[in-house]
Structure 1
Amino acid sequence: MNRHKLHPSQLRKFWKALGPGLISGASDDDPSAITTFSQAGARFGLSTLWVAILSFPVLATIQEMCARIGMVTKKGIAGVVKAHYPKWVLYVLIGLSCPAFLLNMGADISVLGETGNLLFPHIAPLYWSIAFTLLLLLLMIVLSFQRLARVMKFVCLSLVVYVVAPFFYHQDLSSILKHSFIPSFHFNKTYILLITGLTGAIISPYLFFWQTSSEAEEDRVADINKPVKRKFFRAMRIDIITGAFFAVLIMYFVILTTGTVLHNNDIYEINTVAEAAVALKPLAGNVAYILFSIGVISTAFLIIPVLSGSVSYILSEAFNWKSGFNKSFGEAKEFYIIIIVAMCLGIIMQLLRINAIKALLFTTVIYGIIAPFLIGIIMHICNNKKIMGQHINKITSNLIGMVTLLLMLGVLIVLGYFLFIL
């Protein structure tokens, strides 16, 4: 019996092996995603749970493709596109991605400020936003990539608060199972917008860039002249599957919690951080704000380095600047300056008093629109033998990728019908 029991050393070894995949998965559940999941649960109850179930193989497959590109080419997506595709493809890539990432980051910084204000109402949200931004900048500049990744891995653990919450409220197991495995549809604009937002929130384009570039920075692929060993590909896939499962798990339980707590109590719209915190009241009553704040601050501490890093990776590779968190500020000045400027733009959003919750929801819808284009590029790269050599896509990856692409395009066509024809 004890032969199959996990030894603590095995668990430590497993934890140590986790890296970019886990961080990508956890950062996928950023404030914009949590807000979108909460909005879906509040508006439509449990009827979008099936999206979380279907998202797991899709997210794992796309992230595995991105990781494989980084490991094989030792470049990020922008670097690969610049080297092997027409210039206009790179420009479209930058034009679609960077503005959306900056909007997302600015909204996340605003939410950080609002969350700090929830905990300490006497301090204005703007001051919290500035304080958190300076702290994150310091961590990103001072810590090496490996140390930054280590810190981010431990931050991931705080997200389990969302998994625990539903168990403190009465649940109808038959209804949960039905909505989890039997898709239900509401043929109206609001539902299609939320489905677009949900797909954009869980299959987030910034993860494509982060996953590829962070894998290229890992020690195991540091030597550009040596092929990556097979064992590293196996470790990468375990990391990816773990991260994807973690991301979808949080998505599932946030929809479950808000679909039970908010929807059943006639709360159908979420416009502030405080309203979203109500979903955790069954777990801790008035302490719900504290628990919600811990979750939001944790996800923001994950996503802001990922978003700012993704923008910087894209622009640095486009203009041949040295890049990477494994380099010091002196070695990659442009890379860190882009991060600083990007995060300052987030503070400006706070000064402009842009509604953070609405901006976050808008961002996920934008992601749902641009994700098919990026998935198409990633699949084309992964099927190009000149780029990937023997590590091109297998049939399963192509099948899942193609079905995802067609489904997302189908949702966009239906959304366009509601927006421009009806």
Structure 2
Amino acid sequence: MNDNESPDSAQHRPRAANWLRRLGPGLVTGAADDDPSGIGTYSQAGAQFGFELLWALLLTYPLMTAIQLVSARIGRVTGKGLASNMRTHYPCWLLYATVVLLIVANVINIAADLSAMGAALNLLLHGPQELYVVCLGAVSAVLQIFVPYDRYARLLKWTALILLAYVAVALIVPVPWREVGRAIVRPHFQWSAAYLTTVIAVLGTTISPYLFFWQASQEVEELRAVPSQRSLRRAPHQAPAQLRRINFDTWVGMGVSNVIGFFITLTAAATLHLHHIDVKTSADAARALEPIGGHFAYVLFALGIIGTGLLALPVLAGSAAYAAAGTFRWRNSLALKLGVAPEFYAVIALAIIGGVVVTFLHFDPIRALYWSAVINGVTAVPIMVVMMLMAGSRRIMGKFAITGTLAWGGWLATCAMAIAAMGVFVPG
């Protein structure tokens, strides 16, 4: 400690460092939820309905946190991912159907995200969008396959800082904060098909099955990364510290996800809705923002699309690989070398390649996102039901079976998602 440094400030640094170390799987999971396709959904909500849907982001926060806490606890308590637990305790047909739907939805999501990232890079640099898509896909695959897990996990954690771009954009553009406050405190509901469909889209964008698989598997990765750590069923004395960390990490991570979604919706409402500009994709939102919010806001928004895509791609491809590996009993871990877990890394590579190929089919990004939402909604509900049954089973979770507030919150999130999934199929 130097002469000008107080003891309090010296103690503050390790405390702050410890606080940051406690953030991991939950933060990355929450940040990855704000992918380019999610940005497109939030932008559409703000552009179409102004501040009227900001309440939805407050509603999704506790629901999303509850189900992600359930996912994280299953991984940490059992020491196995969701697919491995499903294989052990439930019928094979349910596991196979779930994993196939998950992988299909993830590949479509990867394609939509790559398309949005390529379009955003084209806005900034011009040039061939298709080439950008290939390069971005290749970079993501190479990082996942060849960068050591501990370094890669830190990279993902710090990449989450790109989300601050959307807070900055909201501070740059003029926002009528009094009107925002009124919309939150006294929300105005519409019983129109367009309004309800958008609410469903926001809920479906926020609560996605790939996030369940990713966070449970990342808890297992964290377990393996520290030799002294064991699954909580085998080492119950580690439970108090680990469950506190999971709670803190998940509440913060899902808070980041929902705050950023809130600011994206807010920005679109304060600019695009005010000028009666409708958008279909995240790149459309960035393009439309320039004449209203200025060049700096436009650049920040476009950079945010690229950064969040680089964060979301490994979560989408990785969750598909964890699910497939758990289904077929393949060795799986981002900490393993390529030669030790070839099937696991092959699924990651094939998911990225599949996404790139789909972008070259010149698909309609809006229809792709719609069908991805349909598949996500159909897949999420049975997975959430199975997760809740697993998490509440003493046979699987031992004395760590969930009860009380978390159980109620998880089932409430499951019911909300079931209603959203049914709403996707309502005509009009």
TM-score bin, normalised by smaller chain: over 0.9
1:261 and 2:271 are equivalent in the alignment: yes
1:234 and 2:238 are equivalent in the alignment: no
Please report how far the alpha carbon of residue 280 of structure 1 lies from its aligned counterpart in structure 2 after TM superposition: 6.3
Matches within 5 A, 1:64-83: 64-83=69-88
Letter in 2 for 1:52: L
Q: Please say if residues 277 and 288 of structure 1, whose CA atoms lie closer than 8 Å, have aligned partners that are also in contact.
A: no
1:251 and 2:256 are equivalent in the alignment: no
1:208 and 2:212 are equivalent in the alignment: yes
Deviations 1:181-226 (A, max 9, x none): 4443322222222111111111121100000001011135854584
Q: Which residue, 271, 275, 280 being the options, matches 1:270?
A: 280
Cα distance in 1 for residues equivalent to 2:282 and 2:34? 18
Q: Please say if residues 200 and 423 of structure 2, whose CA atoms lie closer than 8 Å, have aligned partners that are also in contact.
A: no
1:170 and 2:178 are equivalent in the alignment: no
Please report how far the alpha carbon of residue 403 of structure 1 lies from its aligned counterpart in structure 2 after TM superposition: 2.1
Q: Please say if residues 53 and 181 of structure 1, whose CA atoms lie closer than 8 Å, have aligned partners that are also in contact.
A: no
185-194 vs 290-299, which deviates more?
185-194
Please report how far the alpha carbon of residue 304 of structure 1 lies from its aligned counterpart in structure 2 after TM superposition: 0.6
Q: When the two structures are aligned, how many residues end up with a matched partner?
A: 417
- The residue that corresponds to 1:23 in the other structure is 28
Cα distance in 2 for residues equivalent to 1:3 and 1:287? 39
Please report how far the alpha carbon of residue 254 of structure 1 lies from its aligned counterpart in structure 2 after TM superposition: 0.7
Letter in 1 for 2:106: F
Q: Please say if residues 309 and 339 of structure 1, whose CA atoms lie closer than 8 Å, have aligned partners that are also in contact.
A: yes
Q: 1:361 to 1:414 in 2, by over 3 A?
A: closer
Cα distance in 1 for residues equivalent to 2:180 and 2:166? 16
- The residue that corresponds to 1:117 in the other structure is 122
Cα distance in 1 for residues equivalent to 2:344 and 2:106? 16
Letter in 2 for 1:184: H
Please report how far the alpha carbon of residue 161 of structure 1 lies from its aligned counterpart in structure 2 after TM superposition: 1.1
Letter in 2 for 1:371: A
Q: Please say if residues 71 and 215 of structure 2, whose CA atoms lie closer than 8 Å, have aligned partners that are also in contact.
A: yes
Q: Please say if residues 119 and 289 of structure 1, whose CA atoms lie closer than 8 Å, have aligned partners that are also in contact.
A: no
Letter in 1 for 2:204: G
Q: Please say if residues 280 and 292 of structure 1, whose CA atoms lie closer than 8 Å, have aligned partners that are also in contact.
A: no
- The residue that corresponds to 1:375 in the other structure is 384
Unaligned runs of 5+ in 1: none
Matches within 5 A, 1:246-395: 246-271=256-281, 273-279=283-289, 285-395=294-404
Q: 1:26 to 1:414 in 2, by over 3 A?
A: closer
86-95 vs 15-24, which deviates more?
86-95
TM-score under structure 1 length normalisation: 0.92
Cα distance in 1 for residues equivalent to 2:215 and 2:82? 9
- The residue that corresponds to 2:143 in the other structure is 139
223-232 vs 305-314, which deviates more?
223-232
Cα distance in 2 for residues equivalent to 1:395 and 1:292? 41
Cα distance in 1 for residues equivalent to 2:42 and 2:373? 10
Letter in 2 for 1:48: L
33-42 vs 134-143, which deviates more?
134-143
Of all paired residues, the percent bearing the same amino acid is: 31
Letter in 1 for 2:46: G
Cα distance in 1 for residues equivalent to 2:226 and 2:366? 39
Q: Please say if residues 107 and 360 of structure 1, whose CA atoms lie closer than 8 Å, have aligned partners that are also in contact.
A: yes
Q: Please say if residues 38 and 254 of structure 1, whose CA atoms lie closer than 8 Å, have aligned partners that are also in contact.
A: yes
Please report how far the alpha carbon of residue 244 of structure 1 lies from its aligned counterpart in structure 2 after TM superposition: 0.7
91-100 vs 354-363, which deviates more?
354-363
Q: Please say if residues 374 and 424 of structure 2, whose CA atoms lie closer than 8 Å, have aligned partners that are also in contact.
A: no
- The secondary structure found in structure 2 opposite 1:18 is coil
Q: Which residue, 180, 195, 199 being the options, matches 1:195?
A: 199
Q: 1:412 to 1:209 in 2, by over 3 A?
A: closer
Please report how far the alpha carbon of residue 386 of structure 1 lies from its aligned counterpart in structure 2 after TM superposition: 0.8
108-117 vs 379-388, which deviates more?
108-117
- The secondary structure found in structure 2 opposite 1:352 is coil
TM-score under structure 2 length normalisation: 0.91
Cα distance in 2 for residues equivalent to 1:334 and 1:181? 51
Please report how far the alpha carbon of residue 294 of structure 1 lies from its aligned counterpart in structure 2 after TM superposition: 1.5
- The secondary structure found in structure 1 opposite 2:52 is coil
68-77 vs 221-230, which deviates more?
221-230
Deviations 1:322-365 (A, max 9, x none): 11101110110000011111111111112111133542354235
Letter in 1 for 2:198: L
153-162 vs 372-381, which deviates more?
372-381
Q: Pairwise CA RMSD of aligned residues?
A: 2.3
Letter in 2 for 1:9: P
1:54 and 2:62 are equivalent in the alignment: no
Please report how far the alpha carbon of residue 413 of structure 1 lies from its aligned counterpart in structure 2 after TM superposition: 4.1
63-72 vs 185-194, which deviates more?
185-194
1:179 and 2:179 are equivalent in the alignment: no
Q: Please say if residues 189 and 415 of structure 1, whose CA atoms lie closer than 8 Å, have aligned partners that are also in contact.
A: no
